[in-house]
Amino acid sequence: MSLLRQGIAPSIMAICMCFASAAHATDKINFQLDWLAGGDKAPVYVGIAKGFFAKQDLDVSVTPGSGSNDALTRIASGRADIGLTDITALMVARARADLPVKAFLSVFTQAPHAFYVREDSPIKNINDLKGKKLATATNTSSNYFLPLVLTKNGIDPSSIHLVNTDPNAQAGLLITKQVDGVITWVTDYATYEQAAKEAGTGVRMMPWYNYGLETYATSVIANQAYLDAHPDVIKRFSTAYLQSIEYTFAHPHEAAEAVHSIVPEVDEATAEETINRIRPLVYNDISQRDGLGKFTPAYLKSTWQLTAKSQGIEEESYDPLSTVDARYLTKSAEAPATK
At 331 the pLDDT is: 39
CA gap 202, 206 in Å, rounded: 14
**34 backbone dihedrals φ, ψ, rounded to 5°:** -95, -5
Range from 23-27, 165-169, 291-295 carrying the lowest mean pLDDT: 23-27
Q: What is the mean pLDDT of residues 317-339?
A: 67
At 334 the pLDDT is: 39
Range from 8-17, 74-83, 248-257, 284-293 carrying the lowest mean pLDDT: 8-17
Give the closest residue to 280 by CA, choosing from 130, 157, 112.
112
At 335 the pLDDT is: 40
| pLDDT exceeds cutoff 70 at 20 | no
CA angle 137, 293, 73 (to 5 degrees): 45
The residue ranking higher by pLDDT, 141 or 218, is 218
The pLDDT tens digits of the residues spanning 6-19 come to 444 445 445 444 54
At 24 the pLDDT is: 55
The pLDDT tens digits of the residues spanning 160-179 come to 999 999 988 999 999 999 99
| Mean per-residue pLDDT of the chain | 90
Do 82 and 53 touch, CB atoms closer than 8 A?
no
Residue 244's identity, in one-letter code, is: S
CA gap 176, 179 in Å, rounded: 8
At 329 the pLDDT is: 57
Q: Where do the domains of the chain lie, and which CATH numbers do they carry?
A: 26-110+215-323 (3.40.190.10), 113-211 (3.40.190.10)
Q: What is the mean pLDDT of residues 303-316?
A: 96
Cβ-based neighbours of 168, under 8 Å, separated by 6 or more: none
Do 224 and 101 touch, CB atoms closer than 8 A?
yes
